[in-house]
C-alpha cells in the first residue's frame, strides 16, 4: 500500500485506491459513487487526485449496505442527506422497496401460472388461450371489471356507494394463482371488455325505478342480505326462508317503494326471473377467489341464487 498522506489537520487521507481496498470495493465503484455526489472527497493532492478521510469509509460502507437491499440511488441519496431522520427515511425506503418486490413477485407468479396454463392445455386450444392471456397485464388489472360494473350501475351513484359495490363485485387476483385461476380471470377480462350486442349495456328494471338514491339503499340492503346468505353457503345449508331472505326482500321493497307483503314477494320473484343474469361472471369470479381443491367462495352471484331459491320456496309455502 502506498504511504498515506497527512493533512494539515493531521487527519489521515486515503487515495481512491486505498479507500477501495479498505472497503473491499473496486476503484470503479468508489469513483462512481464519488461522481454521483454520494461520496464527497476531503481534499485533492498536489497532482489533483482525490483524497478521502475515514468518514468516507463509513459512508461508503453504508452506501454499499443500502445497495445490497436493492434500494435505488435516489433513495440512498435521501437517506444519506437526511441525517436527522435517517431511521424514518430508511424505513420509508424499505417499505417502498418491499411493496415493489411484492408486485414483482406477484407478476412472476402470474407469468409462471400462465406459462403452465398454455403448456398443459391441448395443442388445439393454445392459440385461443394465448389470445386471452395477451390481453392481460401481469399482474392483471381489475380496471376493466370495474369499468364494466360502473356502466351497469345507475348514473350519479355516490362515490362511496359505488366503491362499496365494486369491492364486492370485482374479485381481486390472487397473489399466487393456479393456472385455472389465471384462465378464469382472463375470461372475466374478455367478458367485461367485449362490446354489448346492441351497443348498450343492459341494466335491471330496479335501476330505472329506484334511481341513484334508491340504488344506494338497495345495494346497502343487498350487501347485508348477501353476507347472511354467504354464511349459509359456507355451511352448505339449503336455501330456506329466514333472516337473510327478509333482508333481501326488504332491500327490494325499499327500492320499489313498497311494503314486504306476500303479494310483493310473488311480484318480486316474477321480476327477478325476467331479468338477464350474469351467471358466467359469477362462476368465473368464484374460480378466481377459490384455491383449487377448496369449496367455492361465496360471491354476490351465488348468494343471489341462494336467496332467489329461498324466495321461490317461501312463495310456494305461502300459496
Report the percent of the chain where pLDDT is more than 90.
Answer: 56
pLDDT of residue 236 exceeding 90, the answer is yes
Number of helices and strands (H, E) in the chain?
Answer: 14, 4
For CA atoms 242, 247, 249, 253, the dihedral sign is positive
pLDDT recorded at residue 29: 92
Average pLDDT over residues 305-316: 96
- Residue 3 confidence (pLDDT): 40
Question: Taking 80 as the threshold, does the pLDDT of residue 4 lie above it?
Answer: no
43, pLDDT greater than 60: yes
User: What's the pLDDT band for 76 if we cut at 50, 70, 90?
Assistant: confident
d(CA 67, CA 69): 5
Peptide bond into 11 cis (omega under 30): no
**What share of the chain in percent tops pLDDT 70?**
93
- pLDDT tens track for 81-132: 876 556 777 787 778 878 888 888 999 999 999 999 999 999 999 999 999 9
DSSP bridge pairs for 15:
51
DSSP 171: P
Mean pLDDT of 289-302: 93
Specify the 3-state DSSP secondary structure of 178: coil
Nearest to 1 by CA among 17, 23, 24, 25: 17
CA-nearest of 202, 177, 189, 184 to 145 is 189
pTM for the model stands at 0.74
Residue 277 neighbours by CB distance under 10 Å: 13
For the ranges 93-107, 181-195, 196-210, the maximum mean pLDDT occurs at 181-195
| pLDDT single digits (tens) 129-148 | 999 999 999 889 999 999 99
* CA dist., res. 281 & res. 276, Å (int): 12
- Whether the per-residue pLDDT at 7 is higher than 60: the answer is no
According to the model, what pLDDT value does residue 109 have?
95
What average pLDDT does range 186-197 have in this prediction?
90
Amino acid at each position: 500500500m502506498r504511504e498515506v498522506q497527512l493533512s494539515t489537520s493531521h487527519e489521515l487521507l486515503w487515495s481512491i485506491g486505498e479507500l477501495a481496498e479498505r472497503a473491499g470495493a473496486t476503484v470503479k465503484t468508489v469513483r462512481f459513487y464519488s461522481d454521483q455526489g454520494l461520496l464527497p472527497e476531503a481534499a485533492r493532492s498536489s497532482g489533483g487526485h482525490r483524497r478521502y478521510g475515514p468518514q468516507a469509509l463509513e459512508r461508503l460502507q453504508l452506501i454499499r449496505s443500502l445497495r445490497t437491499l436493492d434500494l435505488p440511488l435516489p433513495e440512498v441519496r435521501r437517506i444519506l442527506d437526511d441525517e436527522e431522520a435517517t431511521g424514518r427515511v430508511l424505513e420509508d425506503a424499505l417499505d417502498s422497496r418491499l411493496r415493489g418486490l411484492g408486485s414483482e413477485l406477484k407478476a412472476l407468479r402470474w407469468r409462471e401460472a400462465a406459462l403452465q396454463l398454455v403448456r398443459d392445455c391441448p395443442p388445439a386450444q393454445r392459440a385461443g388461450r394465448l389470445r386471452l392471456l395477451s390481453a392481460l397485464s401481469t399482474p392483471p388489472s381489475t380496471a376493466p371489471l370495474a369499468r364494466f360494473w360502473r356502466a351497469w350501475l345507475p348514473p350519479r351513484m355516490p362515490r362511496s356507494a359505488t366503491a362499496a359495490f365494486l369491492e364486492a363485485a370485482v374479485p381481486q387476483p390472487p397473489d399466487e394463482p393456479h393456472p385455472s385461476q389465471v384462465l378464469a380471470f382472463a375470461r372475466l377480462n374478455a367478458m367485461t371488455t367485449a362490446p354489448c350486442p346492441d351497443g348498450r349495456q343492459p341494466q335491471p328494471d330496479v335501476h330505472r325505478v329506484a334511481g341513484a338514491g334508491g340504488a344506494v339503499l338497495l345495494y346497502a340492503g343487498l350487501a347485508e342480505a348477501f353476507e347472511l346468505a354467504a354464511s349459509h353457503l359456507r355451511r352448505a345449508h339449503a336455501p330456506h326462508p329466514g333472516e337473510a331472505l327478509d333482508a333481501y326482500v326488504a332491500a327490494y321493497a325499499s327500492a320499489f317503494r313498497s311494503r314486504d307483503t306476500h303479494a310483493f314477494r310473488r311480484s318480486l320473484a316474477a321480476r327477478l326471473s325476467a331479468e338477464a343474469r350474469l351467471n358466467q361472471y359469477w362462476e368465473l369470479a368464484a374460480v378466481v377467489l377459490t384455491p383449487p381443491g377448496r369449496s367455492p367462495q361465496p360471491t354476490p352471484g351465488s348468494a343471489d341464487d341462494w336467496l332467489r331459491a329461498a324466495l321461490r320456496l317461501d312463495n310456494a309455502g305461502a300459496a
